[in-house]
Amino acid sequence: MKIINGGVCAAKGYRANGIYCGIRRNRTKKDLSLIVSDKPAACAAVYTTNLVKGAPLTVTKRHLSDGVARAIICNSGNANTCNADGIQIAEEMCRMTAGALGISDSDVVVASTGVIGQPLDLTPIKNGMPSLVGGLSDKGGAAAAEGIMTTDTVKKEIAVQFKTGGKTCVIGGMAKGSGMIHPNMATMLVFITTDAAISPAMLRKALGEDVGKTFNMISVDGDTSTNDMVVVMANGMAGNEQITSEGRDFSAFMKALNTVTVSLCRMIASDGEGATKLLECSVSGAPDPETAKTVAKSVVCSNLTKAAMFGADANWGRVLCAIGYSGAAVKVDRIDVSFQSKSGVIKVCENGSGVAFSEEQAKKILSEDEIGILVDLKDGGFSSTAWGCDLTYDYVRINGDYRT
């Protein structure tokens, strides 16, 4: 397996584009994206757990009831959520896209991201559709990735090449996510494409199993969004025998998918609103998988831990505190905690108590832009990883006037 360029267009049979059509006030930022498969593709998705859900999710769920899709249309700048005509707007976005592509409405996945509770005018989308479709290209992944950004500071895309069923296959993905990021399928849009042949049922299984270890293990600010989802399309154009059951080929697919999703998770967490540091909490020695996940998520969700990391303060008590209120049944008098970065590693807690360490060395380690928080529960053989970011002054600045 190797990382390659191209994002969502790296796999065979996909074209994409992103344009500015006029939804957003800032004309320098793209606000409409489209991904198209040259042939019908197996498709699976997972959605936000927020009870308040954007209209596009309702429409997409209905369209994916047959496990097949051809296109993904997504706008930024307006979430199309909590609007009386939201469903109608989302359906019309699908109709316009389908009409321009010559495909069925039901084969279109629709997504929106941006401000909640603001009417979404379809005029800019209608006027922009000819340019959007006309500019579709197998080199258009980067433009599409730009079109779904809101407060993101960088576009997020990756692709990997792998072997399955004796054929070379590719999985590529793009994501948006910077604020309102919290575990349990929170604020992110992730679109993944592959030319591997896999049945809709096995694609749903693969995505469902992966999400629990990746996207559900991110937290930026503790707010679970209303709109976001992860969508995977598989058009089978690599020519491998279709994956219809578990086995060697399915495992190879899962490994490649996880490589893409973990990379996107790290990109999302490191680009948290106002963030200066990526935090990766690695928990080992847990008695069961759920304990490991619960502890890791609690640490990256802790605002006090996040603030300490911003200040490069080795305040390990914040970590232990977050573990203590996580709800996991841990043996506190066994816990070890260390901090790690490219500047080294330093143990700050052993068997639930502080140990002598160099504050100067700790400061150096915590001043890097990627910080590892290593927690050993010493109570079993299970492990888990969660991703987050530091909490900075800029987070409040960005969200203080997000709507206006």
Contact between 78 and 39 (Cβ < 8 Å):
no
Q: Which of 397, 8, 337, 383 is nearest to 171 (CA)?
A: 8
Q: What SS3 state is found at 284? A: strand
E strands, 32-133, where?
32-47, 68-78, 108-115
Task: Assess whether 187 carries a catalytic annotation.
Answer: yes
Question: Are the C-beta atoms of residues 333 and 345 closer than 8 Å to each other?
Answer: no
Cβ-contact 118, 68 below 8 angstroms: no
Tell me the C-alpha distance between 127 and 49, whole Å: 33
C-beta atoms surrounding 151 within 10 Å: 17
Q: Residue 114 region, left (φ>0) first, then alpha (ψ -120 to 50), else beta?
A: left
Give the Cα separation of 164 and 162 in Å (integer). Answer: 7
Enter the DSSP assignment of 240. Answer: P
Residue pointed to by tokens 């072997």? 163
CB distance 116 to 226 below 8 Å: yes
Catalytic residue among 81, 187, 214, 305: 187
Q: Which of 67, 100, 331 is nearest to 200 (CA)?
A: 67
- In degrees, rounded to 5, the angle at the alpha carbon of residue 110 between the alpha carbons of residues 202 and 41 is 35
- Greatest distance between any 2 Cα atoms in the chain: 68
For residue 67, give both structure tokens: 């496990």
Identify the bridge partners of residue 375 per DSSP, sorted by sequence position.
283, 337
Q: Which residues are catalytic?
A: 187
